Amino acid sequence: MEENKKNFKFLKPKNSNFGSKKKFSISIFLLFTSLFILSVIIGWMYFFNSRENIAISVENISNTKEKKLEMTGAKYSGQSSNGTIFLITADKAIENEGKMRLFRPNGKLKTLKRGQIKLISKEAFFKTEQNNIELIGDVKIHQSTNNMTIYSEKITAILNEEKLISNFPVKLSSPEFFLTSESMTAHNYGEKIIFKGKSQIKFK
């Protein structure tokens, strides 16, 4: 047994190209990964361009563990069917079953009648086919025309219909009054607001 142990030696691979083959395999993997990401980018560019001239620009693109497209510094711009021009930026955006999940979105709407409207929240889901933006978490919507701000935990902005809908408690602040309500539907971005449930108003 002792002699067998002494005579035992590790044998080097006879094929001297072993290292180069490994590098070649890694290169092929990276190539296919890059092609996959590129194909997804092209697909999404076509997806956005086919929907009412929505344009998208990003700072960086990667792929998540779930094989979903992740974009850093995403910007979406376009025009709804009623003429509203919108620009939505986000720290990060992830493709999720035909809609984009936005992190820390910041939106600006330029309307024909109500001036500029700002949209801010923690997260949002942007449904590009309907031009709907579902704002979630510390939602804040400010309208420049009458200096009015709406606060809630969840508000859906339907751009093609100029509607703001919330089934959650809302707070509305303006230079003249402060109002709270259990839910609301705002038409023409606040020109007409219907409050539902228990509502209270305090004049300043």
Using a CB cutoff of 8 Å and minimum separation of 24, what contacts does 44-52 make? 44/69, 44/95, 47/128, 48/76, 48/128, 51/78, 51/128, 51/129, 51/131, 52/78, 52/79, 52/80, 52/81, 52/131
In whole angstroms, give the CA distance from residue 185 to residue 158. Answer: 11
Say yes or no to pLDDT of 144 above 70: yes
**Which is it for strands 106-110 and 99-103: parallel, antiparallel or unpaired?**
unpaired
Domain CATH code at residue 92: 2.60.450.10
User: What is the number of domains present in the chain?
Assistant: 1
The pLDDT of residue 3 is: 46
Is residue 140, in this structure, part of any structural domain at all?
yes
The pLDDT of residue 125 is: 93
Q: Which range marks the domain in which residue 108 is found?
A: 15-203
| Residue 105, both tokens | 């979105």
The pLDDT of residue 115 is: 83
Is residue 6, in this structure, part of any structural domain at all?
no
Over range 70-78, report the average pLDDT.
Answer: 80
Is residue 2, in this structure, part of any structural domain at all?
no
Over range 157-185, report the average pLDDT.
Answer: 94
Is residue 186, in this structure, part of any structural domain at all?
yes
Which of the two residues, 86 and 6, has the higher pLDDT score? Answer: 86
Distance of CA 41 to the CA centre of its chain: 15
Interval 6-37: pLDDT, tens: 444 444 444 545 444 444 454 554 444 454 45
